[in-house]
Amino acid sequence: MHKLSLSLFTAVAIGFLTPTAWAEEPIVIKFSHVVAPDTPKGRAADKFKELAEKYTNGKIKVEVYPNSQLYKDKEELEALQLGAVQMLAPSLAKFGPLGAKEFEVFDFPCLFPDYAGLHKITQGPIGQQLLDKLSSKGITGLAYWDNGFKIFSSNKPVLTVDDFKGQKMRIQSSKVLDAQMRALGAIPQVMAFSEVYQALQTGVVDGTENPPSNMYTQKMFEVQKYANLTNHGYLGYAVIVNKKFWDGLPADTRAALDKAMKEATDYANEVASKDNEDAVKAMEAAGKTEFHRPSTAEREALCQAMEPVYDSMGSRVGKDLLVSIRKTAAAK
Ligand code: LMR
């Protein structure tokens, strides 16, 4: 008893003398991503940091590492599983290596008519069911963040189906995107995002597809002569955390982080379309790339050429899932 009160006394005395010794060290969330800070994902990650630190009164510290500073595409997924980083927001086209190939359903060409059709999926039950599937991989899916709709760019024209024949096109690591490029007669090449600028500059590949915000912030427009504003496919993200880490957080901290994530998600989805519109304007003003706005018929011809992907790749993501997403997204 005496011993106990003495040690209590000592502890209080030390605490009184050096109050910082009592301050808890914050729990650090390392959030790694591959794009620039001034993109929809970059802004949303920074917003999450701000809100997470605020709502947990500093109990959580979020360190954001943009621009593949810490890890490239494939490495960041491995790092998450190993616990070297805690949070990521990879593009939905990059979930194959995690064994979650259903996420490639978002890569099907001409699937979503617009953001409204897309949000019926990402903000509805189908999107949630997909996120839930990640838990068996040791990952918790927290939210979907938009980037936007992709456009084609190249150093050769990309207006008609014939234009694509034999062109080397960089893609993300998705089998659906591989099939899409092959359907156009192009030669797909998987490459990490951080390597694309140089590959375009040196002619390792002729072209690629991206939402304008990525094309602009990675300066790809400096090394692409042509672009076609086709909006033929979607590129967005799932925010994911290491499940063990997430489940190990105190419940009130997790609740505060959920609130921060919800608000960061609303923010991400608000800024995305404007970021992409602004990027097109900025690239047109730069005058290095010739931008084409396809007519409905021109876009439809490209969509038709890519339609066989639905047959050949449907079973990869699940035919029922694909059909139900297509129907839900198109319904008025
Ligand atoms: C890409 O590799 O093209 C994109 O996934 C990059 C990104 O995260 O937006």
Task: Render pLDDT for 51-104 as a digit per residue (tens, 0 to 9).
Answer: 999 999 999 999 999 999 999 999 999 999 999 999 999 999 999 988 999 999
The count of residues in the chain is 332
For atom 2 of ligand 1, the residue with the nearest CA is 193
**Taking 70 as the threshold, does the pLDDT of residue 20 lie above it?**
no
Q: Is the pTM higher than 0.75?
A: yes
For residue 34, report the distance from its CA to the centre of ligand 1, in Å: 7
**Taking 50 as the threshold, does the pLDDT of residue 253 lie above it?**
yes
CA atoms in the 13 A half-sphere facing the CB of 59: 12
Decide if 305 contacts 160 (C-beta within 8 A): no
Q: Please tell me the predicted confidence (pLDDT) of residue 24.
A: 78
Structure tokens at 201: 């500059």
Q: Please tell me the predicted confidence (pLDDT) of residue 184.
A: 98
For atom 8 of ligand 1, the residue with the nearest CA is 91
Q: Which CATH architecture has domain 20-327?
A: 3-Layer(aba) Sandwich (3.40)
Cβ(276) – ligand 1 distance below 6 Å? no
For atom 5 of ligand 1, the residue with the nearest CA is 91
Which of 68, 146, 151, 210 is the pocket-test mutation for ligand 1 (most atoms within 8 Å of CB)?
210
Cβ(35) – ligand 1 distance below 6 Å? yes
**Taking 50 as the threshold, does the pLDDT of residue 8 lie above it?**
no
**Taking 90 as the threshold, does the pLDDT of residue 309 lie above it?**
yes
Q: Where residue 23 falls among pLDDT bands split at 50, 70, 90?
A: low
For residue 24, report the distance from its CA to the centre of ligand 1, in Å: 37
Q: Write down the domain spans for the chain.
A: 20-327
State how far the alpha carbon of 140 is from the alpha carbons of 43, 56, 129, 201, 237, in Å.
22, 20, 12, 38, 14
The 10s digit of each residue's pLDDT in 274-300 is: 999 999 999 999 999 999 999 999 999
Region 41-56 average pLDDT: 98
